[in-house]
Amino acid sequence: MSYETKKIRNVVLLGHSGCGKTTFSETMLFEAGAIARRGRVEDGNTVSDYTNIEKTRGNSIFTSLMNANWRDCKINIVDTPGLDDFAGEVVSALSVTDTAVVIVNGANGVEVGTELLWETIGDYQTPALFVINQLDHSKASYENTLEQMRERFGPNVIPFQYPLNQGGDFNTIVDALRMTMYVFGPDGGKPEKVAIPDSEIGRAQEMHNALVEAAAENDEGLMEQFFEAGSLTEEELAKGLTIALAKQEIFPVFCCSAINNMGSGRIMGFINDIAPSPADRENKALVGGEVLKPDPNDATTLFIYKTISEPKVGNVSYFKVFSGSLKTGDELENAQNRNSERFNQIFVANGKERTLVNELKAGDLGVTVKLKHSHTNNTLFSGSKEKVIRPIRFPAPKIRMAVSTPSKSDIEKMTKALHILQEEDPTIQLEHSRELKQMILHGQGQLHLDIAKYRLEKVYGINLVFEDPRIPYRETITKPADAHYRHKKQSGGSGQFGEVHMRIEPYFEGMPEPEGLTVRSSEIEDLPWGGKFAYYWCIVGGSIDTKFTQAIRKGIMLRMQEGPLTGSPCIDIRVSIYDGKMHPVDSNDMAFQTAGSIAFKQGFELAGSQILEPIYRLEVLCDSEVMGEVMSDLQTRRAIIMGMDTEGHYQKIKAKVPLAELHKYSSSLRSLTQGKAKFSQEFEEYSLVPGDVQQRLMNQYKGEDDS
CA 605 and chain centroid, separation: 43
Residue 112: the pLDDT is: 78
State what percent of residues in the chain have pLDDT above 90: 72
Q: Name which of 335-339, 384-388, 514-518, 592-596 the model is least confident about.
A: 384-388
Per DSSP, the residues of 35-73 read SSS---GGGT--SSS-SHHHHHHTS--S-EEEEEEETTE
Residue 523: the pLDDT is: 95
The SS3 call for residue 147 is helix
- Span 401-420, mean pLDDT? 87
Q: Three-class SS string for 189-221?
A: CCCEEECCCHHHHHHHHHHHHHHHHHHHCCCHH
Backbone angles phi, psi at 85, to 5 degrees: -60, -25
User: May I ask the CATH architecture of the domain 284-381?
Assistant: Beta Barrel (2.40)
What mean pLDDT, rounded, does the chain reach? 91
Residue 181: the pLDDT is: 96
Question: Within the chain, which residue ranges are assigned CATH 3.30.230.10?
Answer: 475-601
Residue 52: the pLDDT is: 85
Residues 6+ apart with CB under 8 A from 606: 481, 483
Task: Evaluate whether 661 touches 693 at the Cβ level (below 8 Å).
Answer: no
Residue 229: the pLDDT is: 62
Q: How confident is the model at residue 220 (pLDDT cuts 50, 70, 90)?
A: low
CB atoms closer than 10 angstroms to residue 508: 10
- Span 680-705, mean pLDDT? 90
Residue 706: the pLDDT is: 57
Give yes or no for residue 90 having a pLDDT over 60. yes
Measured CA to CA, the distance from residue 707 to residue 700 in angstroms comes to 11
Question: Within the chain, which residue ranges are assigned CATH 3.30.70.870?
Answer: 399-467
The SS3 call for residue 302 is strand
Superfamily of domain 399-467: Elongation Factor G (Translational Gtpase), domain 3 (3.30.70.870)
Burial 280-316 (b: 16+ CB within 10 A, else e): bbeebebeeeeebebbbebebbbbbbbbbbeeeeebb
- Span 73-85, mean pLDDT? 93
* pTM, rounded to two decimals: 0.86
Measured CA to CA, the distance from residue 220 to residue 471 in angstroms comes to 62
Give yes or no for residue 24 having a pLDDT over 90. yes
- CATH class of residue range 475-601: alpha beta
Give the residue among 281, 279, 315, 285 at the shortest CA–CA distance from 303. Answer: 285
- Span 147-162, mean pLDDT? 94
Domain 611-694 CATH (choose: 3.30.70.240, 3.40.50.720, 3.90.580.10, 3.30.1330.60): 3.30.70.240
User: Model confidence over 500-548: pLDDT tens digits?
Assistant: 999 999 999 999 999 999 999 999 999 999 999 999 999 988 899 999 9
Residue 509: the pLDDT is: 93
User: Model confidence over 470-502: pLDDT tens digits?
Assistant: 999 999 999 999 999 999 987 666 789 999 999
Give yes or no for residue 406 having a pLDDT over 80. yes
Q: Name which of 164-173, 187-196, 221-230, 259-268 the model is least confident about.
A: 221-230
Residue 309: the pLDDT is: 83
Q: How confident is the model at residue 228 (pLDDT cuts 50, 70, 90)?
A: low
CA distances from 342 to 254, 360, 371, 373, 559 (A): 43, 15, 8, 11, 54
Half-sphere CA count of 265, side-chain side, radius 13 A: 19
User: Model confidence over 231-246: pLDDT tens digits?
Assistant: 666 777 888 889 899 9
Which amino acid belongs to residue 525?
E
Give yes or no for residue 707 having a pLDDT over 60. no
Taking CA 189 as the corner, what is the angle to CA 185 and CA 191, rounded to the nearest 5 degrees? 60
Residue 492: the pLDDT is: 63
Give the residue among 376, 391, 322, 368 at the shortest CA–CA distance from 62. Answer: 376
Decide: residue 268, CB within 10 A, 0-12 exposed, 13-18 middle, 19+ buried. Answer: buried
User: Model confidence over 421-452: pLDDT tens digits?
Assistant: 888 889 999 999 988 999 999 999 888 999 99
Decide: residue 409, CB within 10 A, 0-12 exposed, 13-18 middle, 19+ buried. Answer: exposed
Give the residue among 268, 262, 273, 269 at the shortest CA–CA distance from 66. Answer: 268
Give the residue among 18, 145, 131, 26 at the shortest CA–CA distance from 83. Answer: 18
Measured CA to CA, the distance from residue 294 to residue 278 in angstroms comes to 7
Measured CA to CA, the distance from residue 14 to residue 60 in angstroms comes to 11
Task: Evaluate whether 488 touches 516 at the Cβ level (below 8 Å).
Answer: no
User: Model confidence over 614-639: pLDDT tens digits?
Assistant: 999 999 988 888 899 999 999 999 99
Backbone angles phi, psi at 236, to 5 degrees: -65, -40
Q: How confident is the model at residue 670 (pLDDT cuts 50, 70, 90)?
A: confident
- CATH class of residue range 5-193+250-280: alpha beta
Measured CA to CA, the distance from residue 155 to residue 214 in angstroms comes to 12
Residues 6+ apart with CB under 8 A from 336: 377, 378, 379, 388
User: Model confidence over 366-385: pLDDT tens digits?
Assistant: 999 999 999 999 999 998 88
Write down how long the chain is: 707
Question: Within the chain, which residue ranges are assigned CATH 3.40.50.300?
Answer: 5-193+250-280
Q: Name which of 151-155, 339-343, 348-352, 621-625 the model is least confident about.
A: 621-625
